[in-house]
Every structure is written in structure tokens, then in C-alpha cells.
Structure 1
Amino acid sequence: MQKAVSSISSCRWDDLTARTWPYPHCVVVSRAREPDPTIVMQARQACGLATDAPLTSRQLAEGMLRLLLAPLCQQDASALCFARNPYGKPFLPQHPAIQFNLSHTRSAFAFAFARYSQVGVDVESCQGQADRKRAVAKRFFHPDEIRWLESLDDVQFLSAFTRLWSRKEAYIKALGMGLHKPLESFSCLADHQGALQVRDSGCVIACKLSEEWIEGEPAVALSCCLLPDASTDADAWRLLLLQDETPQNNRTDYKVS
């Protein structure tokens, strides 16, 4: 698998909520255990919910997003006002330079941030039945992607499909179109040098598409896509893994490959 993220490091939640803008980055939070009660409490407050209110996964994701955006916007997390583009992608009307995206699955949350450049992120758990996913690929994917997937046996196929779906989601989320963009209209495959490349309507797209494979039960495919403007150093991407501060004998560590 391509190692496209230039730097991977672990970090503490308190560090994340006090950071500024040294580089475009993606924050990954494992869901291998119950979330830290302090983070849950802060997320409730950021969403304006009562202190004893139960949180859905969507609300917890929004609360953490608000907490991560607050220092970048220099504004209180609960005061951030979101709007949506015609396709449903959220943005901050009062902070147009700050671009962000989020994704969550049962295994992880992921949040991507950039300045001026559109960004998309997707996490996908590697699970399910290969035959069903082969049918999905044949129906929705680009012909080049279908040919690549058809060359793989079932063991290879499931992880390859998961990675490919994650790449495609990250790209269409960076565009701000989501699934309004037909999945068969573009491909996200490795070129002859092994670098990930997006070809849309036959043209190579100038974007930074990176991926990581996070081992676990289940494993998770993570993809980030940056559509850089002239001022953005696309090679400065950083992947930040939230440090698990539970005791060693109860810890679930990240394994990135």
C-alpha cells in the first residue's frame, strides 16, 4: 500500500484542542473502546446539549469536530455556525478559509483540516461478504477499477475494495458533491510508480490523495484527499492519531501499515 502521508504521529486530546495551523492534517480517533468521558462531556457542551443527554455517533462526531475547529477559528466551539453547500457538505460561512471534513464508522472517527484548499476524508471498516461487494463494484465503479478488482482473489479483494471505496469517497467529499458525483465517472488507482492518482473524465486531477491502513478488529481504510490551491504545500499532510491514555493492560494500540 502507498505510504502517502508524509508524517504520522500520536497526540493527546488537549494538544489537539490547542493547536494552530502549522500544516494541513487529519485527526483519527479510535472507537476500539468507550470514548473518554471528558471528551464526551466537552462534546455535549459544544453541541449545546444537556450534561446528561445521551449522544449518538453523529452528535459525538459533531461535538469533537466543533472542539477541533474552535482553536483554528479562535471561537468558542458552541458558537460555531455551520451551513451546507447545495450537495450537503458543511462549511463555516464566517471562516471561509478554513476547510474541513469528517467521517466516522463503528471503528473510528476521522477529521481533516486545511486552509483554503478543499479537503475530504473517509474511513471504512473492512468487513462484509466479497461476493456482495463484487456486485457493488460491477454496478458502480469505473471500468479500470472493475478490471483491477476482478484480478484479485476473495482474500485480496475485500481489503482492496475497502481501500478503493474510501479513496473514492474522500475525492467526492473534497469536491463537495458526495454521491451526487457518479462513482463510475472517475478512478482512484495507483500509477506505474505506485502513487495514487485520480483520473476524472479521462484527465489526471491535480490533487493529493493519501491512504493508510489501520489494523484492528475490523481493520480500517483511511483516505484523505486535498485539492490544493497555489499557497498549499500538499506534501505537508500530517496524520495525527489520538493517543490512548488508558492503562497499558487495557490499551488498544493503533497499528498503521
Structure 2
Amino acid sequence: MAKKSKLKVGEVNTFIVSWLKDYATKAKVNGFVIGISGGVDSAVTSTLCAQTGLTTLCVEMPIHQDPTQVSRGREHIEQLKKRFPNVQNIEADLTGVFETFKQAVPKSDNETKLNLSLANTRARLRMTTLYYFAGIHGLLVAGTGNKVEDFGVGFYTKYGDGGVDLSPIADLMKSDVYALGEYLEIPKSIQNAAPTDGLFGDSRTDEDQLGASYDELEWAMSEAENNKKSDDFTGREKEVFEIYKKLNTINQHKMTPIPVCIIPSFLK
């Protein structure tokens, strides 16, 4: 099922950097702000932004963060600052804010829903923080979601990491992002790390949560776009295809515009 990227990495890199610079220039802003997680998506996105020559603010926002995620993020930031003089960084430790929030809201007896809601709260606190820095420095919040996450399985938090001003890599599959990351020479520690959203304060990976690897989900997304059905497959392929279809269905509320109740003209 693995999908090997056929991306023309050099040309794509140039295209995205030009797109970013043009958008920022037209928007009359100073540059970009990116949340750094220690993962490949944020590393690639921040490197693309840095190449514009515009201010690129990398923000660490730990909330009971796994030490390995923190160390990978810092390794990337230090490398990026050495390569690009326009890169700046800052840390906003949100652990205390998160704990205060937990004390301010009622508890729930449903532990599964409680843990998921709190995980999404982490992402939304980070979004708020990024927009704070964007506001005071005149920057755009650059999203770090890729195509299979944003438009395939909806693996992101609505109004959390999904709350951004522009999405430089949202038309790239995860395999494409890795190919671009290798081209951009992001740290090997990031290239080799298992993808994780880091929202639960433990070592669970994206695959643990999704039930399938990104290679498998990319395959399923391609098959779904070709109008294939579950009955067209057997074994693991059938299992993965059904995982993809289920996630794609239940997360449509993230991928489609917010429903607006249109009032008939005769009532106005």
C-alpha cells in the first residue's frame, strides 16, 4: 500500500516559497508565525516560510510535553536560525494555563470523551497563542496540515491546529512532506520520528489513534477518489479502506463550510 512520492521537490519548494511571499506581500504583513511541534509537518512548513526572507517566528507551546518532542523541536529551531537570519523563536509554556482551564470547567464521568475534549483544548489554546503573536507582530498564522490529514481523514482539531490563515502544505500527501523534508535537510531525528499529534501527554502515535499508517491512508484516499468501494477489497486493504471511509465521513464537519441558515426572502 505504500505510496512513494513522485514530487518534484525542488520545483515544488520554489513554488510554495513564491506563493507564501506573494500572499504575505499582498496582505501587507511582516511574515509568518508557526507552532513548532517536533514533527515533520511543522519543520517543513517553517523552513518554507523561512525561505521567503520575511520574519518567521517559531513558537514552542509545551503542555505537559513529551521530552523527545521538545528536544526535536528545539533542534529544528536552532538549525533553522543558523540557516536563516530572519528566523526568530519564542516559548510560551501553556501548562499552567491548561491546568487552570481544567480547574475552571466541570469534570465528566465519561473518561474517553473527557480526554479527547481536553486534548482538543490543548490545540485550541495553542491556536489562541499563535494568533496573539500574529496580532502583536503583524504576522500570518501558517498551518501545518497535510492533504491526507486535512481533506482525507480530518485528523486535526477544529479551531485548533485547523485555525490558520493559510496552508502551505495542505495539497501535499504525507509522503510528499517527507520527500520535501529530506530535500530541505530538516533534522534526521524529525524525519525518522513516528508522527504524533502530541495532544495527550504520552507517547501514542498518529497510527495508534487512526488505526492505519499514513502510507495506508494515502492509498485508501486514492482508491476512494477513484470511486472504489469496500467490497472491492479483502483482508488488510478492506480494513484500511473502511477506516478511511469512516473517518472521512464522521469528520466532514471539519472539511466543509460551516452551515448557514439562509432565511427566505419573503421572511425578510
TM-score, normalised via structure 1 length: 0.27
Of Structure 1 and Structure 2, the greater helix share is in: 2
TM-score, normalised via structure 2 length: 0.27
Higher relative contact order (CA 8 A, sep 6+): 1
Of Structure 1 and Structure 2, the greater strand share is in: 1
